[in-house]
Amino acid sequence: MCGIMGYVGPAEAAPILIDGLQRLEYRGYDSAGIAVHDGSVVTIRKAEGKLERLVALLAESPPSGSTGIGHTRWATHGPPTDFNAHPHTDPAGDIAVVHNGIIENFLALREELGEKGSRFTSDTDTEILAHLIADEYEEDLLEAVRRAVRRAEGAYALVAMSRKEPGRIVAVRMISPLIIGLGEGETFLASDIPAILHRTRRILVIENGEIVDITADGVRIETLAGAPVARETLEISWNAEQAEKGGYPHFMIKEIFEQPDVITETLSGRIRGSSDVALEGVGFPEGFVAGLDKIWITACGTAYHAGLVGKEIFERKLRIPVDVVYAHELRYRDPIIRPNSLTIAISQSGETADTLAAAELAKGRGSRLLAITNVVGSTLSRISDDVLYTRAGPEIAVASTKAYLAMLIGEYLLTVRMGRDLGRYTDAESAEMIDGLRHLPQAAEEVLGRSEDIARLAEGFAGADDVYFLGRGVDYAVAMEGSLKMKEISYIHSEAMPAGELKHGTLALVTRGTPVVTVLTQRYVYDKTVSAIMEVKARGAHTIAVAYDDDGNAAKHADEVVRIPRVPDSLSPVLSAIPLQLLAYYVAVARGHDIDQPRNLAKSVTVE
């Protein structure tokens, strides 16, 4: 997630901007820059890499000025380079812009502005905004920004400065967060509270669809339609560490609650109209999908569990055989991987040694390599023929949550894309799938709204020695992920298995009070899965089912039912995984464990 800073006041802006950006470093980034207005000119300094490179650049020729904007970029459009770093300006250098998020229609705007003679120096959607504001500028920055953003679509936060208007910053929030800090004779702007908490605790939160006019004397907030907005000033009592976690006690729970926005961001800019999908970075040659005999999926851990979901949806819709193989297994086998195959390597970090080795092996045997990864410019992204970036932002907690959901969204988008290439989706069918995807952020919010119920449920697990997770089809794939979450942060032994496998041995382990969690959403195997619940209940297990809101039957068989909104069965993993993430989290909290850095584990296993 990018970091944004702004300052208007009596002090030199550059040191304040850098200090604020440094306090946002935990968010992860791959380039940084600032723009400073000295009353007559706007000076830009920006560089790829970490802030120390920018600081060194500034030391050579420190820009003077008391109005400024700054940015740390987590690359989405265009690799991390000096020229892709923010701020960006229009050709005349009159307008400087920093931006967080995605401008969905930036290609159309780029073409439209190009026809008017605009020339661009970067691969970014942000540069389009600078040109757009300059194109709309007459004599008032606020009105120019207002008119410009009416032409831009997407989820973003935008901050602009004009050479002609020193002492003024204008910002707009469309989903990506923005806050204002009110100082004495100075005003701060940031994408997150930690950047400015040491300067002021008086904060104004900017809401979606609002535009703010910032000067040293304070701020004026309006809706984009022009209606003035009165906003209560908050007095923030957090310490710095609490502020980095957005007030949450741990990064993991913060990231679990970020998931609705992550779904929105990962979908953003990739849906065309009501029934089509466009995946920048995925460029299958004409006829490639039709010529596929096989799809391989390779990954580790949570990413592997995302691949298990992918197998179910790819095979069901594309009717192409799919093998999902742990990367640490695939790399040492002599797999029969042939050229007319697609290998999907899934990795949040894009640096997992086993996954990289398996990906290279598949590529070496002529398979086309597609990466689903969260890190732009990661090793996996650079060795792949195609890249589908998840947009979960930096995932700090070792236990992966939001990146997992983003991987699933990536697989659904790929299914629609490939399904349409194969003619397996009518417009109506792909429209239905896309409509289902569009509703997921709201449905995920509803599940998160029930977190208190999960916290109460977790109390019954804290003393457990073993927990079992069951499911069939994609419910089994989710059970696998729920089991891993439980193991890796609560340290309780846990096992997931297909519900039908229980009677072939593991049932011997079930005794009085053994907690057994069953994911129960798939209509085609519903009764069979209920049978598994009855099997373990007959042996005294404490049974918990994850079921749809309107499932009137689950409560007849399970001791407890965790509810999720009904969605098309193929999309249910995006929702049914959330209660299992929360369950593991609350059990681990009850057991007093280190949540974000669990023992023995690393965030990215870059060694074998």
List active site positions.
2, 603
Question: How many Cβ atoms sit within 10 Å of the Cβ of residue 438?
Answer: 14
Nearer to ligand AGP by C-beta: 141 or 327?
Answer: 327
DSSP assignment of 294-354, as one string? EEEEEE-HHHHHHHHHHHHHHHHHH---EEEEEHHHHTTS-----SSEEEEEEESSS--HH
Return d(Cα 226, Cα 211) in angstroms, integer. Answer: 9
- DSSP class of 176: S
Residue sitting closest to ligand AGP (CB): 301
Least separation in angstroms between CB 333 and ligand AGP: 19
Size of residue set near ligand AGP by CB under 6 A: 15
DSSP assignment of 181-199, as one string? EE-SS-EEEESSGGGTTTT
Nearer to ligand AGP by C-beta: 299 or 520?
Answer: 299
Nearer to ligand AGP by C-beta: 17 or 580?
Answer: 580
- Distance linking the first and last C-alpha atoms of the chain: 29
- Is residue 400 part of the contact set for ligand AGP (CB under 6 A)? yes
Q: How far is the CA of 151 from the CAs of 128, 224, 264, 443, 494, in angstroms?
A: 11, 12, 20, 29, 51
Q: Applying CB under 6 A, which part among 96-104, 144-152, 343-351, 569-577 lies near ligand AGP?
A: 343-351
Nearer to ligand AGP by C-beta: 275 or 347?
Answer: 347
Q: Given candidates 187, 264, 348, 483, which one binds ligand AGP under the rule CB under 6 A?
A: 348
Nearer to ligand AGP by C-beta: 510 or 577?
Answer: 577
**Subset of residues 472 to 491 that bind ligand AGP, contact rule: CB under 6 A:** 488
Query: Considering only CA atoms, which of 605, 577, 593 is closest in space to residue 256?
Result: 577
Judged by phi (left if over 0) then psi (alpha if -120 to 50, else beta), residue 142 lies in: alpha
Q: Given candidates 352, 415, 430, 518, which one binds ligand AGP under the rule CB under 6 A?
A: 352
* Residue 487-526 contact track with ligand AGP, rule CB under 6 A, x = bound: -x--------------------------------------
Query: Considering only CA atoms, which of 349, 381, 386, 380 is closest in space to residue 368?
Result: 386
Degrees (nearest 5) of the Cα angle 604, 72, 252? 40
- Say if residues 529 and 499 touch (Cβ distance below 8 Å): yes
- Is residue 378 part of the contact set for ligand AGP (CB under 6 A)? no
Q: Applying CB under 6 A, which part among 329-337, 347-355, 363-371, 454-462 lies near ligand AGP?
A: 347-355
- Is residue 66 part of the contact set for ligand AGP (CB under 6 A)? no
Return d(Cα 389, Cα 40) in angstroms, integer. Answer: 41
Nearer to ligand AGP by C-beta: 264 or 352?
Answer: 352
- Say if residues 309 and 411 touch (Cβ distance below 8 Å): yes
Q: Given candidates 1, 387, 399, 577, which one binds ligand AGP under the rule CB under 6 A?
A: 399
Least separation in angstroms between CB 347 and ligand AGP: 3
Nearer to ligand AGP by C-beta: 40 or 600?
Answer: 600
* Residue 273-312 contact track with ligand AGP, rule CB under 6 A, x = bound: ---------------------------xxxx---------
Least separation in angstroms between CB 395 and ligand AGP: 9
- Is residue 604 part of the contact set for ligand AGP (CB under 6 A)? yes
Paired tokens of 6:
């702004």
Least separation in angstroms between CB 483 and ligand AGP: 11
Nearer to ligand AGP by C-beta: 7 or 476?
Answer: 476
Q: How far is the CA of 295 from the CAs of 5, 262, 278, 300, in angstroms?
A: 44, 26, 20, 17
Q: Applying CB under 6 A, which part among 44-52, 382-390, 395-403, 435-443 lies near ligand AGP?
A: 395-403
Residues that bind ligand AGP (CB under 6 A): 300-303, 347-349, 352, 355, 398-400, 488, 604-605
